[in-house]
Structure 1
Amino acid sequence: MAMVGLFWVAGSDVYVGSKPSGLAPGVRLTPEGVEALGHRQSGLYLWEDVHALTLTAVPVKTLKRQVGAVGNMALGTVVDLALSAGVGMTGEDPPLMTVHVETADGDHELAVYVAAAVGYSRTEVDLSHALLSRLTEGAATMATTLAAMSEWGRTWEGGSPRRAEREELLREWVG
């Protein structure tokens, strides 16, 4: 499993945001369409019905966000040690992003969790938006793009690649 831009690639599965577990909200991109997962959002939007696919509330990596994440982690560790409970201070879920699936029926908003703890680089955000747009250009483009992402996921071993490699993969998938 690995994060590449705003996507989580796990084997042959491609998710927008992080891969959901249990009842957590998520979105999987399949050869058939955009699949809504989790509590209070389910269904499949077929590619031939999807006119646009966009993402909002995407956290962009900034120095302030990075410092805040380190500070929160340190404070949480201190509190955990003091309480000896081994539980995080807030127990908060990661932030949510919204996937907008535009069809003839309107704009459908689907929630996904952010996979990057301190946000995404501006370049990864821009390339990921271009990739989402590319997926709606037609069946052949969508099929070859998803196939390339899935093939990479099946052969990749290890965690998420470094930023430069993630950006290069996104450029390759955008075409």
Structure 2
Amino acid sequence: MAMVGLFWIAEGDVYVGAKPSGLAPGVRLTPDGVVALGDGQAGLHLWEDVRALTVTDVPVKSLLRRVGVVKDLAVDTVMTLALSAGPGRTDEAPPMMTVRVQSSGGEHELGAYAAAAVGYSATEADLSRALLSRLTEGAATMSTTLAAMSEWGRTRANGTPRTAEREKLLREWLGQ
């Protein structure tokens, strides 16, 4: 499994944001449509009905965000050492992104956790948003784009690629 832009690709499955586990919210992109996963947001939005697909609340990398992650890690470590007899601080959930699906039936807001601990690069976020828009351009475009993303995920064995390769892949999937 690997993260490429706003997508988490695991063995051919493509998710917007992190792959959900248990009852956590998530969004999966399949050849049939956009699947809402998790507690309180089940459903399938067929591609033929989807007019637009956008993501908001995307955490973008910044120096302040990186410092915050390092500070939280340091505080967690100190608290765990100081409270070795107790459980320590509870982990906070990653940032939540909003995936908006506009369809003939109206607009639907779905939640998905961000997969990037310190946020996404602005370039990856922009390319990912363009790719989501591309998926709504028609069945042939959606089918070939999703197939390329899934195939890459099935053949990828060594985790998330570096930034330059992720951006290259997003541009490739966009046809740029």
TM-score bin, normalised by smaller chain: over 0.9
Please give the TM-score of this superposition, normalised by the length of structure 2. 0.97
- CA distance 1:33–1:61, change in 2 (3 Å): same
Secondary structure of the residue that 1:48 maps to in structure 2? coil
4+ residue runs over 4 A deviation: 85-88
How big is the alpha-carbon RMSD for the aligned residues of Structure 1 and Structure 2?
1.0
1:75 correspondence with 2:75: yes
d(CA) in 1 for partners of 2:153, 2:142? 16
Q: CA deviation at 1:90?
A: 3.4
Aligned partner of 1:112: which letter? A
How many residues are treated as equivalent by the alignment?
175
Alignment match, 2:114 = 114
d(CA) in 2 for partners of 1:127, 1:86? 44
Q: CA deviation at 1:133?
A: 0.3
- CA distance 1:44–1:85, change in 2 (3 Å): farther
Aligned partner of 2:36: which letter? A
d(CA) in 2 for partners of 1:20, 1:87? 25
- CA distance 1:85–1:73, change in 2 (3 Å): farther
- CA distance 1:20–1:85, change in 2 (3 Å): farther
Secondary structure of the residue that 2:48 maps to in structure 1? helix
Q: CA deviation at 1:105?
A: 1.6
**Percent identity of paired positions between Structure 1 and Structure 2:** 72
- CA distance 1:139–1:88, change in 2 (3 Å): farther
Alignment match, 1:147 = 147
Q: CA deviation at 1:95?
A: 1.1
Aligned partner of 1:117: which letter? A
Structure 1 residue ranges without an equivalent (≥5): none
- CA distance 1:106–1:73, change in 2 (3 Å): same
Q: CA deviation at 1:91?
A: 2.2
Please give the TM-score of this superposition, normalised by the length of structure 1. 0.97
Structure 2 residue ranges without an equivalent (≥5): none
- CA distance 1:85–1:19, change in 2 (3 Å): farther
Q: CA deviation at 1:48?
A: 0.2
1:163 correspondence with 2:163: yes
Q: CA deviation at 1:86?
A: 7.5
